Structure 1
Amino acid sequence: MKKLIISLLISGAAILTQNTMAADLDTDMWALAKNYKAFHKSENTSDALKSLDAMKFAANDAKQSVPNKLKSLAKDDVQVVGYQAGLDALIAEIDKTATLVQANQLDQAKNEAKNLLTIRDENHKKFK
């Protein structure tokens, strides 16, 4: 009985550790969409930066996964590299938008953030 309890505790700890390390790709994409909407609804720099930070975290986390369409490919395959490049472009655009927010140009930042949708749409066509 003790061995069973110990093995269950170890298994549970391993599962929790794995879940806190990286979210699955669907969760990351959901977080990106949710925080994009929150960013556009934000009325101050603090809320805007909070949403952008969450988006950047989700985009970086998404780099740890690949879409189902690419799972059978090697990490150095052209398509996988293209997927990673799409996320890098998304992260760069998030950083560019955050720079505008930090300069107290929230309206301009919201306009710039429309490029995030363009990047999303282009990459969804390729990899979804």
Structure 2
Amino acid sequence: MKTKDFVSVGILCLSLTVSSVTVQANEVNMYMGAITMSYARFNAAQTVADARKALANMRTAAVAARAQKPSALANAPTNNPKLKVYQSEIDRLIAEIDKTGKLVNAGKLTEAKTEGRKILQLRDEGHAAMKH
């Protein structure tokens, strides 16, 4: 292989790697936005069915976000302490979504909305934990 071809292939590989990291970071942001939008739908829900659907969308987005790395940790190894904190915070969020979902499934929409406020609290705590 010629040096020129080798350099071209190297640049192409580097470009693909950088764009892949950027896409992953954008996916985390997209999932976080979906959680926020679904929370708003949950909070506005007038029926158990609407609340259940919003919580399901929130949970799906949270699980998907957990599978990705945030942009600040895009190159971090899987045993990175900050990445473990990120995953732990997402796990707490998923657990709260599930807890709220149990109330919705029991037909306790008013109680679920009160409990559901903790979802935003956990989101904010998670954001704060990632900034430190």
* TM-score normalised by length of structure 1: 0.79
SS at match of 1:113: helix
Question: Gapped runs of 5+ residues in structure 2?
Answer: 1-23
In the alignment, structure 1 residue 70 sits paired with structure 2 residue 77: no
| 2:68 alignment partner, SS class | coil
How far apart, in 1, do the equivalents of 2:102 and 2:126 lie?
A: 24
Aligned: 1:39 with 2:47: no
Larger radius of gyration: 2
Aligned length: 108
CA distance in 2, matches of 1:103, 1:121: 27
Matches within 5 A, 1:1-128: 24-127=27-130
Q: CA RMSD in A?
A: 1.7
Q: One-letter code of the match for 2:111?
A: Q
Contact 2:27/2:68 (CA < 8 Å) preserved in 1?
yes
The more displaced of 75-84 and 48-57 is: 75-84
Identical-pair percentage:
36
Aligned to 2:15: none
| Counterparts of 1:54 and 1:79, CA distance in 2 | 26
Off by >4 Å, runs of 4+ in structure 1 = none
Please state how far the C-alpha of 1:68 moved relative to its aligned partner: 1.3
How far off is 1:101 after superposition?
0.4
Name the CA distance, whole Å, in 2 between partners of 1:122 and 1:51: 21
Whole-angstrom distance in 2 between the partners of 1:58 and 1:74: 23
